[in-house]
């Protein structure tokens, strides 16, 4: 049975569910996160233009790590997954996990993992 | 003054629309991973050029430079990242609409119309970048039918562009509501749903930018 609409919280939760949440960051925090995301993007592009780095074994893992940091930062702070209800985390990370396993499996099956990391 | 919004609570105490958007985003993750997988599997298997990172000389002696334009795409990536910042500020402005604003700075930060406009314009700018890129590729001899790279690249980035277009339309509809009756704390969930979708489109591009453009 659906719960009664008790209040009009911006996060659209009843007080019971809201107990699992925290306050969202301030606009200053959002701007700082934007600056961090920009800095990482600049670092990624900068790395792309260094031939010795591109030729090295660390290039691809380094880019993947920087990309993952940006991904997680946006999801946790801008999408508020860090502050929201656990169910939303499950709804996102579950399919993400399946997708990641599928991607790695396909790359492995088609021999692309070796081509990317085994040079 | 904003009109009160109807909530659809579930037995979890959470609004069904927010659960639905997260479930939708989860399914979209799998869609984009299937497209990215296809791109990566076909990567380096094109028999004829143009190629993404290497020059190509055809049988007729025509030379094609590497097709990807990293400076342009870096610019469009920055634009999309900044649109996410504008979106989160728009949501904060709607949530804090009832908080009194005393200074000019507080009024700017608290203006939902400004940040929604900013997000929509940055989204539209990203689409202009993409249109420019697609046009340049076609002029340089790469279409969706040219080779495996062209097929998988246009499909992946085209799908992403279609999602950005849908997001811009969603943002414009929120702006129309804001101008008609004003968006307030009671509308925060509606803006939150659009914001989640918009940020998702942004995170997909973060992955595409690295895997397609930067990794050779």
CATH number for the domain harbouring residue B153: 1.20.120.80
Q: Does residue B5 lie in a domain region?
A: no
What ipTM was assigned to the predicted interfaces of this complex? 0.89
Q: Give me the pLDDT at residue A75, please.
A: 95
Q: Phi and psi of B15, rounded to 5°?
A: -70, 135
Q: Phi and psi of B35, rounded to 5°?
A: -70, -40
Which one, of B71, B173, B196, B84, lies nearest residue B129 by Cα? B71
Q: Does residue B59 lie in a domain region?
A: yes
Question: Do B95 and A24 make contact, defined as CB atoms within 8 angstroms?
Answer: yes
Confidence of residue B58 (pLDDT cuts 50, 70, 90): confident
- Please, which residues 122-161 of chain B have a Cβ atom closer than 8 Å to chain A? none
Q: Give me the pLDDT at residue A10, please.
A: 46
Q: Residue B18: its chain A contacts at CB < 8 A?
A: 11-12, 88
Q: Does residue B157 lie in a domain region?
A: yes
Q: Phi and psi of B56, rounded to 5°?
A: -145, 135
B50: tokens are: 């143009």
Residue B164, domain extent: 16-214
In chain B, the number of structural domains is 1
Question: Do A17 and B77 make contact, defined as CB atoms within 8 angstroms?
Answer: no
The residue whose two tokens read 């090295």 is A56
Partner residue facing B95 (CB), from A10, A17, A100 = A10
- Given a cut of 80, whether residue B84 has pLDDT beyond it is yes
Q: Could you read off the pLDDT of A57-110 as tens digits, one per residue? A: 999 999 999 999 999 999 999 999 888 889 999 999 999 999 999 999 998 998
Q: Could you read off the pLDDT of B28-45 as tens digits, one per residue? A: 999 999 999 999 999 888
Q: Could you read off the pLDDT of B4-17 as tens digits, one per residue? A: 456 666 677 788 99
Q: Give me the pLDDT at residue B78, please.
A: 96
Q: Does residue B8 lie in a domain region?
A: no
Whether chain A has a CB inside 8 Å of the CB on B207: the answer is yes
Q: Does residue B126 lie in a domain region?
A: yes
d(C-alpha B63, C-alpha A93), whole Å? 45
Q: Give me the pLDDT at residue B176, please.
A: 96
Alpha-carbon Rg for chain A in angstroms: 20
Q: Could you read off the pLDDT of B19-30 as tens digits, one per residue? A: 999 999 999 999
Give the chain A residue whose CA is nearest to the CA of B17: A12
Q: Does residue B139 lie in a domain region?
A: yes
Q: Does residue B204 lie in a domain region?
A: yes
pTM for the whole structure: 0.88
Q: Could you read off the pLDDT of B126-174 as tens digits, one per residue? A: 999 999 999 999 998 899 998 999 999 999 999 999 999 999 999 999 9
Compute the nearest-CA separation of B2 from chain A (Å). 12
Neighbours of A93 (CB within 10 A): 15
Partner residue facing A74 (CB), from B5, B34, B206 = B206
Confidence of residue B75 (pLDDT cuts 50, 70, 90): very high
Nearby residues of B189 by Cβ (< 8 Å), 6 or more positions away: A10, A11, A12, B5, B7, B15, B17, B18
- Please, which residues 71-90 of chain B have a Cβ atom closer than 8 Å to chain A? 74, 77-78, 81-82, 84-85, 87-89
């Amino acid at each position: 049975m659906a719960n009664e609409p008790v209040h009009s919280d911006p996060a659209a939760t009843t007080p019971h569910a809201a107990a699992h949440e925290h306050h969202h960051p301030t606009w200053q925090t959002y701007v700082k996160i934007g600056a961090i995301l920009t800095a990482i993007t600049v670092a990624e592009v900068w790395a792309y233009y260094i031939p010795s780095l591109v030729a090295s074994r660390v290039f691809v893992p380094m880019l993947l790590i920087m990309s993952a940091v940006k991904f997680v930062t946006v999801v946790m702070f801008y999408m508020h997954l860090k502050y929201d209800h656990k169910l939303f985390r499950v709804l996102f990370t579950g399919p993400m996990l399946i997708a990641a396993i599928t991607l790695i499996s396909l790359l492995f099956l088609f021999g692309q993992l070796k081509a990317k990391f085994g040079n | 003054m904003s009109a009160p919004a109807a909530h659809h609570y579930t037995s979890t105490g959470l609004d069904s629309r927010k659960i639905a958007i997260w479930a939708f985003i989860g399914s979209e993750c799998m869609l984009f991973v299937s497209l990215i997988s296809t791109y990566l599997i076909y990567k380096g298997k094109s028999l004829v050029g143009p190629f993404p990172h290497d020059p190509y000389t055809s049988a007729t002696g025509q030379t094609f430079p590497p097709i990807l334009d990293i400076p342009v795409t870096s610019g469009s990536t920055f634009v999309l990242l900044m649109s996410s910042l504008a979106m989160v500020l728009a949501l904060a402005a709607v949530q804090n609409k009832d908080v009194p604003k005393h200074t000019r700075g507080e009024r700017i930060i608290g203006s939902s119309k400004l940040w929604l406009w900013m997000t929509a314009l940055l989204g539209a700018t990203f689409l202009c970048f993409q249109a420019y890129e697609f046009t340049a590729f076609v002029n340089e001899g790469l279409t969706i039918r040219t080779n495996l790279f062209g097929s998988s690249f246009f499909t992946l980035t085209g799908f992403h562009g279609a999602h950005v277009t849908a997001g811009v339309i969603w943002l414009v509809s929120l702006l129309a509501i804001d101008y008609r009756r004003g968006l307030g704390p009671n509308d925060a969930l509606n803006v939150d749903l659009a914001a989640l979708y918009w940020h998702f489109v942004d995170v997909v591009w973060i992955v595409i930018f690295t895997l397609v453009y930067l990794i050779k």
